[in-house]
Structure 1
Amino acid sequence: MTQATFLVGGDLAVGRLGFGAMRLPTDPGPAREDAVEVARRAVELGVTLIDTAHMYGWGANEELLAEALHPYPDGLLITTKVGVVRSAETGEWGLDGRPDVLRAQVDEALRRLRVDRIELLQLHRIDPETPLADQLGTLRELRDEGKVGRIGLSEVTVTELDRSREIVDIASVQNRYNVLDREYEPVLAACEEAGIAFLPWRPVAAGDSGARAEVAAVASELGATPTQLSLAWLLAHSPVILPIPGTARIDHLEENLAAAQLHLTPAHLDRLDRLYEQG
């Protein structure tokens, strides 16, 4: 039986199938109004984990979620990410993990999300130009000050995760991962061993035509869509995986969340695992 919940940081219970808010339109108009409804519908359907980031609209995504959901229902975790900046001159984005930048982005997130504390804050990327101890030390200080509850990382290697855990407790890792793209399998294994939540981004498989055809075939046998199968595989593959599929449409949202009810047999899992091994 697939476990329905996970304790992030060992103490914060969330449903394992969450929602990624990155795709929600934030510009004024009908699309934004629809985005508000999508976020609200996600919570109505039982989602208790929503992922956003400073980089998503440079704060606009956080503001949209606050507009849609504040005051937040009990048990809803909105996790955001810091450490990416946009150049005022070129508009291009880059990494910036300097302590003053991280502190400013956390303060902005607190204001935009209308909260006093971010229960899970993730470093969007490790900035190679700033000592890791300075980046994570700043997040640890923010945790000690009560502005942050738990600290996570994004797009890291096993070595980076190990180094980070020497500096501060790590509650989550957000790396690219799906049934056909398992480059970070060693990171997932490290998270399993340590009880760290693993939030895969790009959770839906997009491999070559043959692999996609086999995914579609297994999905058809189960009366499901390939997207649902991809999400159900993630839930079955590891108890620490918390998928966060994103969409701007309610019908796709409902399709995604129905994946939690899909049961994969050992034979189905074996067929899907062999696709990766063959690749």
Structure 2
Amino acid sequence: MTTGELLIGRHGVRRLGFGAMRLPTKPQEARKNAVAVARRAVELGVTLIDTAHLYGWGANEELLAEALHPYPDDLLIATKIGVARETPTREADYDGRPEFLRDQVEQGLRRLRVDRLELLQLHRIDPKVPLAEQLGALRDLRTEGKIGHIGLSEVTVAELTEARKTVDVVSVQNKYSLLDREHEDVLDVCAAEGIAFLPWRPVFPSVSSGLAEIAAVAAETGATAAQVSLAWLLHRSPVMLPIPGTGSIAHLEENVAAAGLRLSEEQFRRLDRLRPG
């Protein structure tokens, strides 16, 4: 199986992206390095970068705009909304009220310096608001041209099925890795329906597990445990698009190089037999 490209809506993107969550926005020296990491990701051919309003309450989006705007034509910036910041009287919490989602979209447009958020994902479903109302608000924003495509994050099969009654869902971003396969059923539905699956935390805990099988495959391929874990994900399903994050250029380069690592069927099966715990 080759990594190739994956179609997300009308965007063809390479199947190994970059998660920007771990890019610090301050102090100034750390921010300067974060800008360099984001720019290096694009230089290495990454065509999907994931961010969110939650990451620094918009500061991460502003950092990406500083680093990359005007964006290359083939770069897809995916952001997420639906989490309200803490206040003196309230902890941070999910907020799926249509007026709140609309406000966060407007903020995202300003921070990312774009006229349309090409991939907008609902960070979490708010159990206090009917799902059809939350997604109806996003559908309206898409009709207005402020959103290109809609995705979901951390959803079950039932939630994904229900959501698709209201909007076209082009991506799902759930936690998933070689040693964390809680959402195997969601991945299977995405594969059957042609929905991009963006696993977050795609290499942990594989890199720290100390499992002999992972170490053995790494030795056989001349790769690292992180690269083997990413290669397993890419082999696992054609809709898989891992988004490993890092604040280090060296780790970024290591992760991106995993797109060129090919596991044999025998190596894939050996890793596939590993299970959490």
**TM-score relative to the length of structure 2:** 0.97
2:186 aligns with 187
1:32 aligns with 31
Q: Distance in 1 between matches of 2:39 and 2:86?
A: 33
Q: Distance in 1 between matches of 2:201 and 2:87?
A: 29
Q: Runs of 5+ in structure 2 lacking a partner? A: none
CA RMSD of aligned residues (A): 1.5
Compute the displacement of 1:213 (Å).
3.0
Listed as ranges, the matches of 1:50-199 within 5 Å are 50-89=49-88, 92-199=91-198
1:247 aligns with 246
**Residues 81-123 of structure 1: per-residue CA shift (max 9 Å, x gap):** 0000112216732100000110000000000000000110000
Letter in 1 for 2:53: H
State the identity as a percent.
68
Gap change, CA 1:208 and 1:13, over 3 Å in 2:
closer
Gap change, CA 1:70 and 1:245, over 3 Å in 2:
same
Compute the displacement of 1:12 (Å).
1.1
**Residues 13-62 of structure 1: per-residue CA shift (max 9 Å, x gap):** 01110000000001141000000000000000100000000000000000
2:228 aligns with 229
Listed as ranges, the matches of 1:197-236 within 5 Å are 197-206=196-205, 212-236=211-235
Instruction: Tell me, yes or no, if structure 1 residue 49 matches structure 2 residue 48.
Output: yes
Compute the displacement of 1:165 (Å).
0.3
Greater displacement, 139-148 / 206-215 = 206-215
Q: Runs of 5+ in structure 1 lacking a partner? A: none
SS at match of 1:122: strand
Letter in 2 for 1:206: P
1:4 aligns with 4
Q: Distance in 2 between matches of 1:123 and 1:218?
A: 36
Letter in 1 for 2:4: A
Letter in 2 for 1:114: R
Q: Is the contact between residue 52 and residue 61 of structure 2 (CA under 8 Å) also seen in structure 1?
A: yes
Greater displacement, 158-167 / 208-217 = 208-217
Q: Distance in 2 between matches of 1:92 and 1:214?
A: 42
How many residues align structurally? 277
Letter in 2 for 1:238: S
